[in-house]
Amino acid sequence: MEEEKQITEYTDENIRHLSDMEHVRTRPGMYIGKLGDGSFPEDGIYVLLKEVIDNSIDEFKMHAGKKIEIRVEDNLRVSVRDYGRGIPQGKLIEAVSVLNTGGKYDSKAFKKSVGLNGVGVKAVNALSTRFVVRSYRDGKVREAVFAKGVLLTDTTSDTDEPTGTYIFFEPDDTLFEHYAFRPEYIETMLRNYTYLNTGLAIVYNGRRIVSRNGLVDLLNDTMTSTPLYPIVHLQGEDIEIAFTHTNQYGEEYHSFVNGQHTTQGGTHQSAFKEHLARTIKEYFNKNLDYADIRNGLVGAIAINVQEPVFESQTKVKLGSLKMAPDGPNLNKFIGDFIKTEVDNYLHIQTDVADVMYQKIQESEKERKAIAGVTKLARERAKKANLHNRKLRDCRIHLNDAKGDKTEESCIFITEGDSASGSITKSRDVNTQAVFSLRGKPLNSYGLTKKVVYENEEFNLLQAALNIEDGIDGLRYNKVIVATDADVDGMHIRLLMITFFLQFFPDLIKKGHVYILQTPLFRVRNKVKKGGKGKSDYETIYCYSEEERIAAIRKLSPNPEITRFKGLGEISPDEFKHFIGKDMRLEQVTLRKTDTVKELLEFYMGKNTMERQNFIINNLVVEEDVPNDYS
């Protein structure tokens, strides 16, 4: 007889009221997005830092304080000191601990604020094991100390310190497990602040960061290809743009709203792309294709919007359609500015216009040369996506209109059926897709984009990612190269990275490409589990020789050691540990100082003998080391 299902009681005791701080701690994702450990720039600890700095930036925008001092201790604890007006001391406690309390509802005081209205710093307070705020005003300093949002002390004393606000916080490591701030992510964030706020000085761990030329500095610092003409830099009220062309494939954009880096673009970036291409086309008065105009284009736009509307709490994509609730249409505002200023510029700087037109013609010539190949390739890709098993898709994608897990969407690029099978059986079907390569990819260095369409693997991969027309349509936030941890696997990684660098460099620059780290060894000991003859294993997975030695010492004597030769040898039950919440990823980065052209030419070019001599001259032969781990 089937057991009756027991109904869970629902009484007055089930009705709870959470304080503001309890609510933030119970539902942190509502306030800062994902938690994470600091391995990725979108992780929560950087959102905490950003929310504190945003308030100081707002002070600068209100012409109060030109310097912000930031110190990060041991990559764990942060202090931020500005020299603005200081939080009004009578409401200091409420300003940092009571939700929906703040000065940014008053548009006169903060007309175009970047900080979260009444939320940001409260979330930092609630999610920190220790939070200290000081307000320096009128010769007095009021200090409040909190622990996980709970007030511990509140004191006021005399001071001769300059006016401003000081905030210290240490994220709660029970929420942000094993976290650590990465200096490179912080520095990128701070540089973006200075590009958008010329005249602001940020002192980071004693080092001064400034920008004198705004978006021109941004493009000069981030471009990895030489500009074909001097960067065009145009400014107006509430808008600033900069752009140039390079010889790289694709297009690349940076966009900002009220100083906030909108990494996923939004309505302002779409308007910038649309109207810039249209204005250039109308200037030349020829039937140019927008794709040819945009090929090689590198641009940036920054606008100030009153009461901006973002598509997520972390403010990475703008959704606003107007410059203010009762203001002009945002698309028209940007379009009118570009139509007037860019057209005027090109009429005056005819030498720039000549170089630009030459670049557009070159792009048009190459596009037409591969038009036939492109059409057939699109048809093959469309058919393949529908009927074959190269792509095992997921349900949630980055470009979905709504969904709180879109940023978790990823695709694993694997080689071989066995590896693909293991990942496919272990993955989260909601957010993790798998693309299976057949053999080693082609070395694409030095080839034209025609190869992307002629090569079956590249063509299908491009279609799977949906990046033929640029990365705005990218379907996955993370593109993860998952290969064996051996020489062949390393070679495939290099070939894939070469492909992305050649034809889709913005995919790497925007931080979408990663390498999956999988364990080299499994070290385990059989241990008693309880009951008659029952036993289990204490297992440690090791990603390096050093970790293997440490595991042997911990589990000795005589543990069982397995060397994983390939991904296909790892069972699906084990694989789920390596692509779950503890997944280890290494982000592929691209900076101006990386000398990409020279590196690719040496490692992927036709100079086989030069590479062979390099290997011979730099070969290190290790002496045998006794296998003593005691």
pLDDT band at 74 (very low <50, low <70, confident <90, very high): very high
pLDDT digits (tens, 9 = 90+) for 269-319: 999 999 999 999 999 999 999 999 999 999 999 998 888 887 766 677 888
Amino acid 120: pLDDT: 82
Contact 328, 395 (CB under 8 A): no
Of the given ranges (181-185, 336-340, 435-439), which has the lowest mean pLDDT?
Answer: 435-439
Paired sense of beta strands 140-147 and 128-137, if any: antiparallel
User: What DSSP character marks residue 622?
Assistant: P
Q: How many CB atoms lie within 10 A of CB 492?
A: 22
Burial letters for 387-414: b for 16+ Cβ neighbours within 10 Å, e otherwise?
eeebbbebebbbeeeebebbbbbbbbbb
State which amino acid sits at residue 208. Answer: R
Name residue, tokens 């606008």: 303
Share of the chain above pLDDT 70, in %: 87
Residue 105 has pLDDT above 50, yes or no: no
pLDDT digits (tens, 9 = 90+) for 374-403: 878 877 777 666 556 688 899 999 877 666
pLDDT digits (tens, 9 = 90+) for 148-166: 999 999 999 999 999 999 9
Backbone angles phi, psi at 311, to 5 degrees: -85, -5
Residue 94 has pLDDT above 50, yes or no: yes
Three-state DSSP at 171 gives strand
Residue-wise DSSP of 265-299 = -BHHHHHHHHHHHHHHHHHHTS---HHHHHTTEEE
pLDDT band at 241 (very low <50, low <70, confident <90, very high): very high
Residue 266 has pLDDT above 90, yes or no: no
The crossing angle, in degrees rounded to 10, of helices 267-284 and 330-348 is 40
Of the given ranges (7-11, 21-25, 327-331, 577-581), which has the lowest mean pLDDT?
Answer: 7-11
pLDDT digits (tens, 9 = 90+) for 557-574: 788 898 887 777 788 888
Q: How many CB atoms lie within 10 A of CB 199?
A: 11
Average pLDDT (9-35) is 65
Burial letters for 288-309: b for 16+ Cβ neighbours within 10 Å, e otherwise?
beeebbbbbbbbbbbbbbbbbe
Q: What is the pTM of this model?
A: 0.78
Cα–Cα distance, 131 to 49 (Å, whole number) = 12
Cα–Cα distance, 384 to 390 (Å, whole number) = 8
pLDDT digits (tens, 9 = 90+) for 107-123: 454 555 555 444 588 88
What are the chain's domains? 20-209 (3.30.565.10), 215-369 (3.30.230.10), 389-518+587-616 (3.40.50.670)
